[in-house]
Amino acid sequence: MATSPLCVPPPQGLLRPLAVPERLLLGPGPSNVPPRILAAGSQQLLGHMHPEVLQVMDEIKMGIQYAFQTQNRLTLAISGTGHCAMEAALLNLLEHGDTVLVAVNGIWGQRAADITRRLGANVHELLKPPGEYFTLWDIEEGLARHKPSVFFITHGESSTGVLQPLEGLGELCHRHGCLLLVDAVASLGGAPIFMDQQEIDVLYSGSQKVLNTPPGSAPISFSEGAREKMLRRKTKPLSFYLDMGCLGNYWGCDGEPRRYHHTAPINSFFSLREGLAMLAELGLETSWERHRANCAKLCQGLCDLGLELFVKEEKVRLPTVTTVRVPDGYNWKDIVAFLMDNHAIEIAGGLGPSVGQVLRIGLMGCNSTSSNVDRVLSALQDALRCCQHSRL
**Known binding site for substrate: residues?**
360
Length of the chain: 392
Burial class of residue 165 (count of CB atoms within 10 Å of its CB; 0-12, 13-18, 19+): middle
Q: In what order do the strands lie in the sheet with 358-362?
A: 321-325, 358-362, 348-349
Q: Strands (DSSP E) along the chain, which ranges? A: 24-25, 74-78, 99-104, 122-127, 150-154, 156-157, 162-163, 179-183, 202-204, 218-222, 321-325, 345-346, 348-349, 358-362
Of the two residues 192 and 301, which places its CB atom closer to its own copies in the complex? 192
Q: Which stretch binds its own copies (CB under 8 A): 1-9, 137-145, 172-180, 219-227?
A: 1-9
Contact positions with its own copies (CB under 8 A) in 191-230: 192, 194, 196-197, 206, 208, 214-216
Contact pick of 99, 124, 174, 238 for its own copies (by CB under 8 A):
238
Closest approach of Cβ 380 to its own copies, in Å? 18
Q: CB count, 10 Å around CB of 334?
A: 18
Map the footprint of its own copies across residues 243-282, applying CB under 8 A: 260, 262-268, 270, 273-274, 276-277, 280-281
| CB count in 10 Å sphere of residue 145 | 11
x-or-dash string of contact with its own copies, 117-136, rule CB under 8 A: xxx-----------------
Is the Cβ of residue 52 or residue 374 nearer to its own copies in the bound state?
A: 52
Under rule CB under 8 A, residue 288 binds its own copies: yes
Give residues 307-346 in contact with its own copies (rule: CB under 8 A). Answer: 346
Q: Which of residues 50-89 bind its own copies (CB under 8 A)?
A: 50, 52, 55-56, 58-59, 62-63, 65-66, 68-71, 79-84, 87
> Can you tell me the distance from the alpha carbon of 311 to that of 298, in angstroms, rounded to the nearest whole number?
13
List all residues 6 or more positions away from 212 whose beta carbon is below 8 Å from its beta carbon: 31, 32, 33, 34, 37, 275, 278, 364, 365, 366, 367
Closer CB to its own copies, 25 or 363, in the complex: 25
Q: Which is nearer to its own copies, 87 or 132 (CB)?
A: 87
